[in-house]
Amino acid sequence: MAKAEAVKEVRRKQLIDATIRAIGRVGYANATLTHVASEAGLSPGIVNFYFKSKEQLLIATLEQIAEEYSAFWQAAINKGKVAPAAGLEAMIEADFHPTVCNVEKVSIWYAFWAEARGNAAYHDVVSRLEQDYLAQTETLCQRIIQEGGYEGASAGDVATGLNAMIDGMWFDCLMEPKAFNRAEAKRICRQYLASVFPAHFSGGVKKGKSDNDNTVVLAIDQEVQGRNAHRARLAAALRKRLEPVGPMRREVLAAAAGISVKILESWLDGRAEPSSWQIGRLIVATDAQLWMEIYGPIHDEAQRLFEARLASAQEQAMRDRAALATLKGTD
């Protein structure tokens, strides 16, 4: 009996892996049980023996990739036993690991994100995974804020920005797989964290009370990274795509995102904002440029701050070398 169960589990895993490849090759809507059987090198009858319907197979596929992904990043942070900065580093590494961030897996995620709006089973799995991930990211950010004394920083805002940035990088992997550079993607995420938590991610001195330092940090917190600024960019980007300015009707966009027109109106008014997987649906329903309009300023400001800090460090190093040379000259 145990051997039979083991064989059954292996066969189910084989068929789920074949489903992932089939969707990656022909797309969610076009993938059939025949495609799955072909990918697995089995007969369609074998597929029907283990999964009575395509829907049953798809739910099993979503549950498996969600469990694998969750286990992967939970193992990376060692269930909270590592230092918080190391935890965020590990999550970034996990998110861009080749076994997680590849065209097949990312295709699957975007397909299920898009379908979740009309499928309660999909929605429950995706929503639960996203909430767990965001909660863990926010917890790590809060621990860093407490360690470093980063006054005015919001763990929720930083976590939301990082998660949205990673989602956008995944979209780049999906759209331009040959040009996608996972090392560069990780560098950008770390640069973003360094702009908020310089003592933990840039090797610099912890944030002090000088006027110059506070000015730079507050520019990111309030004008770019803050939730109100994020909601304002989101609302502006959506309005550009809606009638009478753009081509889409509000009812159509709301349906594509799996929400009510009332919720869409709250986004347009700046009273609320979509989750990252809802952002994914909006991108699919509109265009990839939407992501850049919403999150591009965060990246640009992080780049500006990183370069400013680098220039400052280089100037300080030059002054230190000059002072050392002067001291040597007086010996």
**Tell me: the pLDDT tens digits for 226-246?**
567 778 888 888 988 888 888
155-175 vs 84-95: helix axis angle to the nearest 10? 20
Q: Are residues 190 and 236 both part of a single domain?
A: yes
Residues 6+ apart with CB under 8 A from 99: 72, 105
Taking the C-alpha atoms of residue 206 and residue 198, their distance in angstroms, rounded to an integer, is: 7
| 261 shares a domain with 113 | yes
- Percent of the chain surpassing pLDDT 70: 81
Cβ neighbours of residue 224 closer than 8 Å, sequence gap 6 or more: 297, 298, 301
* pLDDT, tens digit, 9 for 90 and up, residues 180-219: 888 988 988 888 888 888 888 863 333 443 333 333 333 3
CA-to-CA distance for 242 and 251, rounded, in angstroms?
10
Helix count and strand count (H, E) for the chain: 16, 0
- Whether the pTM exceeds 0.75: the reply is no
Find where tokens 């990252």 sit: 276
| Domain containing residue 290: CATH number | 1.10.357.10
> By the 8 A CB rule, do 242 and 248 touch?
yes
Q: Cα 157–116–41 angle (5° rounding)? A: 120
Q: Are residues 145 and 206 located together in one domain of the fold?
A: yes
For 49-53, which contacts have Cβ atoms below 8 Å and span 24 or more sequence positions?
A: 50/8, 50/11, 50/12, 50/15, 51/12, 51/15
- 247 and 266 part of one domain: yes
CB 241 within 8 A of CB 290: yes
**Residue 80 binned pLDDT confidence (cut-offs 50, 70, 90):** low
Q: Say if residue 38 is in the same domain as residue 65.
A: no
Domain count, the chain: 2
Q: What is the predicted pLDDT for the residue at 198? A: 85
Mean pLDDT, residues 167-189 taken together: 86
| Domain of residue 22, CATH code | 1.10.10.60
| One domain for residues 40 and 98 | no
Report pLDDT for 216: 33
Same domain, 179 and 313: yes
Using the structure block, give the residue that is written with the tokens 């049953």.
56
Which range scores top for mean pLDDT: 111-120, 123-132, 277-286, 321-330? 123-132
Is 162 in the same domain as 304?
yes
Q: Out of 58-67, 129-138, 297-306, which region has the weakest mean confidence (pLDDT)?
A: 297-306
Same domain, 42 and 89: no
Question: pLDDT for 41-70, tens place per residue?
Answer: 888 788 888 888 888 888 888 888 888 888
- Same structural domain, 24 and 144: no
Share above pLDDT 90 across residues of the chain, in percent, rounded to a whole number: 4
Q: H or E element: which one contains 50?
A: helix 44-50
Mean pLDDT of the chain: 78
Q: 100 is in which domain, residue-wise?
A: 53-330
HSE at residue 160, side-chain half, CA atoms within 13 A, is 20
Q: Is the peptide bond before 274 cis (omega within 30 degrees of 0)?
A: no
76 and 198 belong to one structural domain: yes
Same domain, 102 and 64: yes
